[in-house]
């Protein structure tokens, strides 16, 4: 792909439309509880300013469904952005219209304007060309630094590139694209994929794609029990997708044909219900009775996974190993985090639940790269070309 990256572009005297992803969590008082997505875009904004440009920054927040809603205003982001940049950030009470046009037109080099929520307009998610043209009119250069929404063909991500002569990718986009592509296409081997989470159904295309690339696949989480039942084991009340049992068998057969080793849990932490403070026990997966459900990987599985992780050259991880939100069933996930953190392998990690577990573990900084995305991360692992990336390919 012929993508132009920000560090090869000239911004002197130019107004630059930066599509960021400031979809950050807020508490009831509208205080930002996790600003990692804002922090990750700061290098891109600063670079534009330092190179003599002015920045018109745009994002969505939440799901206002095409209507103005104060609880989804980007005003809290403006305050945090000012703190992180160490300079004033102007705010437009709309992302198009008179106020946005006037403030964008008046921007001087080194100044920043934050637009109000893009998704206050239904046209944003419809990839409406008329709406995109109005956004494009605010600046002469377009930079996409919002990897987490680049799997969506939205107006500020895809259509806008048709109306701006010069388009490129910001530092966060560059880091996301190059890290994932290196892990998938030019890894230091062995390449190990650790796949967890609840269901197989949301990861079928990813499994199909990565089986062609990895050396070993470790499968944990609820999805492991579909694979175990496909081997005709009793899994009790564990989460199983009955309609995907044949698919699981086919996946394992394809792995054998390609010489890919699949490692499934040999033991698990089981209980009668998914609750804290309930009786639970660690048992072999061959000892699960009809009244029990597996809710975490057990210590033997942790050890087996650890041996593979220790020898890995590159690790791709998506999905927790159990119901990590409940302490009794979180130990497997945190053990795997420790193993990856202590590994010499390049580690590329992504997914909402995986990210949450990492933050809770305090080992976030021990990973080589943690994606800011969920869906976009998954689609790259599936081998898809994201609309937001394709739009930059000139």
Enzyme catalytic residues: 37, 199, 352, 375
Would you say 39 and 80 are in contact if contact means Cβ atoms under 8 Å apart?
Answer: no
Nearest Cα residue to 230 out of 246, 254, 215? 246
> DSSP per residue over 310-353, as a string?
HH-SEEEEES-SS-TTSGGG-HHHHHHHHHHHT--SEEEE--HH
- The DSSP bridge partners found for residue 19 are 58, 144
Would you say 302 and 265 are in contact if contact means Cβ atoms under 8 Å apart?
Answer: no
Would you say 89 and 78 are in contact if contact means Cβ atoms under 8 Å apart?
Answer: yes
Extract the tokens encoding 4: 């132009």
Angle between helices 75-85 and 36-50 (to 10 degrees): 60
Extract the tokens encoding 248: 């699981």
Extract the tokens encoding 67: 């209507």
Extract the tokens encoding 64: 């206002």
Tokens 């699949």 sit on residue: 262
């Amino acid at each position: 792909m012929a993508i132009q990256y920000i560090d090869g572009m000239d911004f002197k005297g130019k107004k630059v439309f930066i599509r960021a992803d400031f979809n950050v969590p807020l508490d009831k008082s509208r205080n930002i509880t996790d600003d990692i997505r804002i922090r990750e875009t700061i290098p891109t904004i600063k670079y534009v300013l330092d190179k003599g440009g002015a920045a018109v920054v745009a994002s969505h927040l939440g799901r206002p469904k095409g209507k103005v809603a104060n609880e989804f205003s980007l005003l809290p982001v403006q305050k945090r952005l000012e703190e992180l940049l160490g300079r004033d950030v102007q705010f437009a009470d709309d992302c198009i219209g008179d106020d946005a046009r006037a403030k964008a037109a008046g921007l001087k080099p080194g100044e920043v304007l934050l637009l109000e929520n893009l998704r206050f307009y239904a046209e944003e998610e419809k990839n409406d060309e008329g709406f995109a043209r109005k956004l494009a009119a605010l600046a002469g250069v377009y930079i996409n630094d919002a990897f987490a929404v680049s799997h969506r063909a939205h107006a500020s991500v895809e259509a806008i590139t048709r109306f701006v002569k010069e388009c490129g990718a910001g530092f966060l986009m560059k880091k996301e694209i190059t890290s994932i592509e290196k892990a998938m296409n030019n890894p230091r081997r062995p390449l190990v994929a650790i796949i967890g989470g609840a269901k197989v159904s949301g990861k079928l295309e990813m499994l199909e794609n990565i089986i062609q690339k990895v050396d070993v696949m470790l499968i944990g989480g609820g999805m492991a029990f579909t694979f175990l039942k496909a081997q005709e084991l009793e899994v009790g009340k564990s989460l199983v997708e009955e309609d995907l049992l044949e698919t699981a068998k086919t996946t394992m057969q394809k792995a054998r044909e390609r010489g890919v080793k699949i490692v499934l849990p040999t033991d698990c932490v089981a209980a009668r219900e998914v609750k804290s403070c309930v009786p639970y026990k660690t048992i072999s997966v061959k000892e699960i009775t009809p009244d029990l459900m597996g809710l975490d990987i057990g210590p033997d599985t942790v050890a087996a996974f650890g041996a593979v992780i220790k020898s890995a050259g590159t690790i791709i991880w998506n999905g927790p190993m159990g119901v990590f939100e409940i302490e009794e069933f979180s130990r497997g996930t945190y053990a795997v985090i420790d193993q990856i953190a202590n590994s010499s392998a390049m580690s590329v990690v992504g997914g909402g639940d995986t990210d949450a577990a990492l933050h809770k573990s305090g080992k976030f900084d021990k990973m080589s790269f943690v994606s800011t995305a969920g869906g976009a991360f998954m689609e790259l692992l599936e081998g898809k070309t994201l609309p937001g990336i394709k739009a930059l390919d000139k």
